[in-house]
Amino acid sequence: MRSASERLRGAIATAALALACGGVLAQTPMGVTEAEAGAAADAPLAAKYRVVVIAGSNASGSVVRQQEWVFWRQADTVAVHKGSTEEIWQRDAQGRITLQRVLHAQRTVVDYSAGELATLGIEVNWSELCRFGSTAGTAGVEWDGQLNLPARLTQLINGRTLVRFDLLESRPGAPADWDLPGHRSAGYAHLDAADFGDMAYDPAVRAAESLDVQAGWRQAAHRH
């Protein structure tokens, strides 16, 4: 019988992958139980990914954008720093999950309460968040079982654009010399996503709503 870590290491999911919450997968990799995945995901960890966006429907297309993202996982927090924006997901003792969107250009943090996420029809799967997200809708995944994260992940968007995530580096804990999510936003203004309806004029609201729509939110009947 293989150990949990061996099975994790060997798990390669090729199911479709949807970057539902901005690079977050939605399905337990094949051969990995929820409990095993959850146990591995509890270890505090930071990981850097190179994100390459390729125009055209195959890898020979031209690179139109390249970014470096920082994924940071703790027992009650999963966060991704994506350059100009961040997503910080938190889970409390009652299991309620909240989100903060950090918008650096607007120096604003948008708070999504558990109730607001539910009201928007968003169901959050914590164990999927801990593994960088959902595997639904992906073009391919190579799985790093020790980290319980994808080593390489490819998504085809609208049948035309490839987005590839390559794991560059990982470190346990919270590396002091990394630009981790949440570290730059202490002095930012805060907005409650419940208030968006009265604030369509606000650039931060427009930016956050745009990100929500990109993630498939604010469109009915989506689940994450």
Q: Does 87 bind other proteins (CB under 8 A)?
A: no
Q: Does 94 bind other proteins (CB under 8 A)?
A: yes
Q: Does 169 bind other proteins (CB under 8 A)?
A: no
Q: Which CB sits closer to other proteins, 76 or 169?
A: 76
Q: Does 75 bind other proteins (CB under 8 A)?
A: no
Q: Does 118 bind other proteins (CB under 8 A)?
A: yes
Of 5, 14, 113, 161, the residue at the interface with other proteins (CB under 8 A) is 113
Q: Does 189 bind other proteins (CB under 8 A)?
A: yes
Of 31, 121, 137, 175, the residue at the interface with other proteins (CB under 8 A) is 121
Residue reference for tokens 């919270």: 174
Left if phi > 0, otherwise alpha if psi is -120 to 50, otherwise beta: which for 6?
A: alpha
Q: In whole angstroms, what is the distance from residue 136 CA to residue 26 CA?
A: 6
Do the Cβ atoms of 211 and 22 come closer than 8 Å? yes
Closest CA to 8 of 28, 32, 33, 27: 32
* Type of residue at 191: L
Q: Residue 171: how many CB atoms within 10 A of its CB?
A: 13
Q: Site residues (CB under 8 A) for other proteins?
A: 76-77, 90, 92-94, 96, 111, 113-116, 118-121, 123, 186-187, 189-190, 192, 194-200, 202, 209-210, 212-213, 217-221
